[in-house]
């Protein structure tokens, strides 16, 4: 059922950038939307919420403000550090400041300071507080973007090949002053209470396709899976990833890109996995395969098949970890392949129903923000405003 958004935010998107917005994430939704959606779920006081695609941590921030406990996962370590920083305590921030002071002592007087040398100094500090460690790293992400500013291409999510931050020169005093200033910006951005009333907020690295924790663990879910835009979410965070490689450990980037739901780097899935998809999704894949445009039956069929197989695996885990009667909201965006409509809300409902989740309602918003609007060669249908949908679901007893 499609319902008007009476009593809900007039848009899933904020009208303009928030004054205290530290990190603007393309796939995110604003805090007031997350609070509204959590309110609609009707969760018990202090209930436990999960977000399988945590991103920049908006759901975590909303849970912290509303007094819910929270477990967030993201496959991209860049987003894990941001998510932790967003819900850290004032004590965590004090420890992050102390870590910067330690780095200052180590690099004092180092000739020809570089990002690699600063990162090596940071690595020498024992990690006794994971949140403080993430705060100190996340604070440097804007600096990484500044250092790579000239390496951007016409595609706003892409950077030139072969770039590195390792040998980028730093002025010691300017660097430390900037780091401390950015730390204050993160502190303004954070959305947590220092008197959490027993609620626990946790953000970890994890793959939604593989595991989301214990069966019957969560009262609610609020998340937004990557859209079918072929946006490379991992490469879009390349500056932060390159900085993280100097200051912490990182996975292989190519492997990470291929693991990401919705990645444009496709790899075939077993035929039997595609056969397990609901009939309406298989008909959609057949229509894509039969399209006359170039690569429809090869690359694009592989891309869409991979997406829906991986989304089904994630939805299976969602059905597993929600408690009986637990409710969730998934925010998705429609798209097109040529003139073929990809109604992602309908596909999510189909997958959910197939897994024993009950569709409660769908609330639609119109969004003018889509990566297809950046591509001047996109099909006419693809360049129209997109319907973004908040799909509300509930777990039945038979999951």
Q: What is the tens place of the pLDDT at every residue in 24-79?
A: 776 678 899 999 999 999 999 999 999 999 999 999 999 999 999 999 999 999 99
Buried b (16+ CB within 10 A) or exposed e, 140-162: bbbbbbebbeeeeeeeebebeee
How far apart CA 30 and CA 52 sit, in angstroms, is: 17
At residue 192, the pLDDT reads 66
pLDDT higher than 90, residue 151: no
How far apart CA 67 and CA 53 sit, in angstroms, is: 20
Q: Please state the rounded mean pLDDT for residues 256-280.
A: 90
Q: What is the pLDDT of residues 102-134, one digit of tens each?
A: 999 999 989 999 999 999 999 999 999 999 999
pLDDT higher than 50, residue 268: yes
Q: Where is pLDDT greater, at 90 or 376?
A: 90
pLDDT higher than 70, residue 377: no
Percent of the chain with pLDDT over 90: 74
Ramachandran angles phi, psi of 205, nearest 5°: -80, 130
How far apart CA 389 and CA 344 sit, in angstroms, is: 9
At residue 330, the pLDDT reads 98
pLDDT higher than 90, residue 81: yes
pLDDT higher than 50, residue 14: no
At residue 19, the pLDDT reads 45
At residue 351, the pLDDT reads 98
Q: Where is pLDDT greater, at 13 or 280?
A: 280
CA distances to 36, 392, 398 from 357, in Å = 22, 10, 9
Residue of 181, 99, 80, 87 whose CA lies nearest to 140? 181
Evaluate whether 34 touches 61 at the Cβ level (below 8 Å).
yes
Q: What is the pLDDT of residues 282-324, one digit of tens each?
A: 999 999 999 999 999 999 999 999 999 999 999 999 999 999 9
How far apart CA 281 and CA 264 sit, in angstroms, is: 19
pLDDT higher than 90, residue 367: no
Of 92-101, 146-155, 268-277, 378-387, least confident by mean pLDDT is 378-387
Q: ∠ CA(290), CA(269), CA(210), 5° rounding?
A: 135
pLDDT higher than 90, residue 6: no
Q: How confident is the model at residue 399 (pLDDT cuts 50, 70, 90)?
A: low
Residue whose tokens read 């967030």: 72
At residue 233, the pLDDT reads 86
At residue 7, the pLDDT reads 47
Number of domains in the chain: 1
User: Domain range spanning residue 382?
Assistant: 2-395
At residue 300, the pLDDT reads 96
Beta strand 335-337 with 322-333: parallel, antiparallel or unpaired?
Answer: unpaired
Query: Model-level pTM?
Result: 0.90
- Helices 90-107/115-123 angle, 10° precision: 120
At residue 15, the pLDDT reads 39
pLDDT higher than 70, residue 217: yes
How far apart CA 388 and CA 52 sit, in angstroms, is: 19
Evaluate whether 168 touches 121 at the Cβ level (below 8 Å).
no
pLDDT higher than 70, residue 156: no
- Give 79's Cβ-side CA count (13 Å radius): 30
Evaluate whether 47 touches 70 at the Cβ level (below 8 Å).
no
Report the CATH number at residue 100. 3.40.50.150
Q: Average pLDDT of the chain?
A: 88
Percent of the chain with pLDDT over 70: 85
Q: Where is pLDDT greater, at 183 or 398?
A: 183
At residue 18, the pLDDT reads 46
How far apart CA 174 and CA 191 sit, in angstroms, is: 28
pLDDT higher than 50, residue 4: no
pLDDT higher than 60, residue 347: yes
Q: Please state the rounded mean pLDDT for residues 182-191.
A: 92
pLDDT higher than 50, residue 346: yes
Dig out the tokens for 75 from the structure: 């496959």
How buried is 360 (Cβ within 10 angstroms: 0-12 exposed, 13-18 middle, 19+ buried)? middle
């Amino acid at each position: 059922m499609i319902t008007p958004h009476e009593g809900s935010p007039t848009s899933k998107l904020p009208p303009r950038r928030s004054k205290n917005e530290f990190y603007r994430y393309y796939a995110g939704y604003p805090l007031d939307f997350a609070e509204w959606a959590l309110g609609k779920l009707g969760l018990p006081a202090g209930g436990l919420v999960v977000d399988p695609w945590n991103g920049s941590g908006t759901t975590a921030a909303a849970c912290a403000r509303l007094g819910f406990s929270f477990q967030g996962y993201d496959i991209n370590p860049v987003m894990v550090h941001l998510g932790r920083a967003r819900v850290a305590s004032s004590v965590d921030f004090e420890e992050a400041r102390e870590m910067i002071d330690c780095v200052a002592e180590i690099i004092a007087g180092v000739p020809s300071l570089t990002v690699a040398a600063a990162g090596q100094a940071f690595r020498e500090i024992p990690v006794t507080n994971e949140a403080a460690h993430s705060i100190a790293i996340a604070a440097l992400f804007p600096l990484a973007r500044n250092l790579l500013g000239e390496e951007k291409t016409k595609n706003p999510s892409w950077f030139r090949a072969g770039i590195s931050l390792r040998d980028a020169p730093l002025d010691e005093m300017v660097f430390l002053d900037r780091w401390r200033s950015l730390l204050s910006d993160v502190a303004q951005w954070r959305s947590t209470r220092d008197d959490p009333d027993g609620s626990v907020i946790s953000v970890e690295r994890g793959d939604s396709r593989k595991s989301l924790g214990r069966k019957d663990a969560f009262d609610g879910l609020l998340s937004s899976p990557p859209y079918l835009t072929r946006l490379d979410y991992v490469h879009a965070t390349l500056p932060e990833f390159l900085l993280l490689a100097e200051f912490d450990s990182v996975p292989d980037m190519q492997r990470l890109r291929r693991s990401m739901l919705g990645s444009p780097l496709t790899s075939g899935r077993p035929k039997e996995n595609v056969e397990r998809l609901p009939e309406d999704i298989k008909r959609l894949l057949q229509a894509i395969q039969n399209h006359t445009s170039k690569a429809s039956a090869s690359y694009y069929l592989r891309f869409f098949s991979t997406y829906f197989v991986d989304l089904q695996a994630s939805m299976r885990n969602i059905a597993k970890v929600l408690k009986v009667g637990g409710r969730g909201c998934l925010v998705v965006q429609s798209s097109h392949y040529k003139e073929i409509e990809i109604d992602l809300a309908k596909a999510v409902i189909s997958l959910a129903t197939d897994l024993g989740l009950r569709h409660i309602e769908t609330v639609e918003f119109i969004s003018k923000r889509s990566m297809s609007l950046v591509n001047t060669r996109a099909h006419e249908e693809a360049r129209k405003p997109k319907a973004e949908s908040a799909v509300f679901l509930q777990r039945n007893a038979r999951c």
